[in-house]
């Protein structure tokens, strides 16, 4: 892969598309044996939360909305409709959670796409699997606990679809359990892989622009298209994460398929 | 003023009816269940992750059980196949949910059998 070119050793172009994913400690903090440093990842999480909060809370509340207010209202309505479509009126109580989840993922996906001056390297929080896995595990664990809280042991019916012959149960129950356990894995891998692949591709093509000299116009044109596509992917992945979370919570409310 | 309004009232009512209908249709449009997938590539990728994730989880469980019970490699083999089966179940559910190309959900099939085809 092009990314393996060692940095600056040939005096030529330093091409290191994975550099953007490196974690650097900004404020080192050590408590016990744990490294709880404030890293660039933490910094961008804070920036994401701040930006989203500012957009949703501090925006103007005029009757005729401006641009930013429109964005905030569109996000709110979009998620509100999605929650109603997937979970019905019962799902209203999960609306704040889903909205927060969607905004955080969308915010970090989008902010990672912006390029800022050298002091503040853009960092995509969601391009690290541990972050997406933490989010997915939180949704999965929460839905499971809620499922048992609401349905008691009846929640286990999820693993034995109604109408199954008893003979098939020893085979079907493990399959259903594996399927259930694979939810947080696929949920997190999907988001992480999309973000990481997209950002790596952007960096690789961006390096081609410099490397090819005047012929760099061609990858530059491609870059424009890719950047647009990445914005679409950033939105789509946040949406898929949110809608799948809705479906999992809906399963927790109504365990019979 | 009042008389003016009276003469125009059927027309105005009709207009109101139109506007009501338009508003209702936008509301219906908004409430219509959406297709989660809008592009084929994303959909393909989604199916792949569902399949792979289930296999990975199956293998992990089998491997863990083997380590615990010292029964290499039987649980690994068994859970690998269970994982594959779970992956296929996942993929089936994804295609069923997204509608369109996938099989029709059982609940949406007509309850009366029409024997035209068979």
- Write the residue in A175, A189, A239 that is nearest to B53 by C-beta: A189
The residue of chain A with its CA nearest to that of B57 is A182
DSSP letter, residue A126: G
Domains contained in chain A, number: 1
Interfacial residues of B (vs A; Cβ cutoff 8 Å): 30-31, 33-34, 36, 38-39, 42, 45-46, 49-50, 52-54, 56-58, 61, 79, 82-83, 85-87, 89-90, 97
Q: Is residue A6 part of a domain?
A: no
Contact A193/B54, CB-based, under 8 Å? no
Alpha-carbon gap, residue A139 to A101, rounded angstroms: 9
| β-bridge pairing A25-27 and A38-39 | antiparallel
Cα separation of the two ends of chain B: 70
Is A11 contained in some domain? no
Alpha carbon distance A228, A219 (integer Å): 14
Q: In chain B, which residues have their Cβ closer than 8 Å to the Cβ of A182?
A: 50, 53-54, 56-57, 83, 86-87, 90
| A19 in a structural domain | no
Residue B31 pLDDT level (bands cut at 50, 70, 90): low
Q: What local confidence, expressed as pLDDT, does residue B79 receive? A: 92
Q: Which helix or strand (DSSP H or E) is residue B29 part of?
A: helix B2-31
Whether residues B79 and A176 touch (CB distance < 8 A) is answered with no
User: What is the ipTM for the molecules in this complex?
Assistant: 0.73
**SS3 of A27, please?**
strand
The per-residue pLDDT for range A116-172, each reduced to its tens digit, is: 666 667 788 898 899 999 999 999 999 999 999 988 888 888 888 777 788 888 888
Is residue A32 exposed (0-12), middle (13-18) or buried (19+ Cβ within 10 Å)? exposed
Whole-angstrom distance, CA of residue B118 vs CA of residue A32: 72
For the segment B82-94, what is each residue's pLDDT rounded down to a tens digit? 999 999 998 988 8
Cα A18 to its chain centre, rounded Å, is: 19
**Domain annotation covers residue A163:** yes
Query: What is the spatial distance between Cα A33 and Cα A15, in angstroms, rounded to a whole number?
Result: 35
Are A246 and A98 in contact by the 8 Å Cβ rule? The answer is yes
What is the pTM (predicted TM-score) of this model? 0.76
Work out the mean pLDDT of chain A and round it to a whole number. 84
Q: How many CA atoms does the CB half-sphere of B100 hold within 13 Å?
A: 13
């Amino acid at each position: 892969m092009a990314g393996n070119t060692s940095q600056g050793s040939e005096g030529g172009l330093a091409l290191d598309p994975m550099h953007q994913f490196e974690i650097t400690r900004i404020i080192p903090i050590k408590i016990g044996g744990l490294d709880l440093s404030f890293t660039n990842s933490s910094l961008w999480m804070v920036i994401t939360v701040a930006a989203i909060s500012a957009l949703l809370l501090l925006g103007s509340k005029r009757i005729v909305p401006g641009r930013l207010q429109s964005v905030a209202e569109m996000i709110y309505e979009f998620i509100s409709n999605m929650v109603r479509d997937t979970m019905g009126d019962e799902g209203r109580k999960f609306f704040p959670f889903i909205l927060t989840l969607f905004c955080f993922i969308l915010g970090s996906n989008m902010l990672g796409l912006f390029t800022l001056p050298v002091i503040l390297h853009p960092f995509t929080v969601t391009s690290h699997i541990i972050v997406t896995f933490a989010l997915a595990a939180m949704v999965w664990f929460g839905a499971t606990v809620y499922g048992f809280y609401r349905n008691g042991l009846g929640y286990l019916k999820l693993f034995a679809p109604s109408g199954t012959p008893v003979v098939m149960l020893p085979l079907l129950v493990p399959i259903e359990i594996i399927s259930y356990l694979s939810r947080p894995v696929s949920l997190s891998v999907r988001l992480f892989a999309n973000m990481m692949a997209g950002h790596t591709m952007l960096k690789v093509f961006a390096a081609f622009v410099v490397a090819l000299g005047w012929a760099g116009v061609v990858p530059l044109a491609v870059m424009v298209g890719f950047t647009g596509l990445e914005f679409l992917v950033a939105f789509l992945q946040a949406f898929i994460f949110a809608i799948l979370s809705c479906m999992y919570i809906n399963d927790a409310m109504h365990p019979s398929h | 003023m009042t008389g003016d309004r009276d003469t125009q009232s059927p027309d105005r009512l009709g207009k109101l009816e139109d506007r009501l209908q338009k508003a209702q249709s936008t509301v219906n449009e908004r409430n219509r269940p959406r297709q989660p997938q809008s592009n084929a590539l994303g959909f393909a990728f989604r199916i792949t992750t569902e399949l792979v994730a289930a296999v990975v989880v199956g293998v992990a469980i089998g491997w863990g059980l083997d380590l615990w019970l010292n029964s290499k490699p039987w649980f690994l083999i068994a859970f690998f196949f269970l994982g594959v089966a779970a992956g296929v179940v996942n993929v089936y559910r994804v295609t069923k949910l997204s509608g369109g190309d996938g099989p029709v959900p059982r609940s949406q099939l007509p309850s009366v059998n029409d024997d035209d085809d068979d």
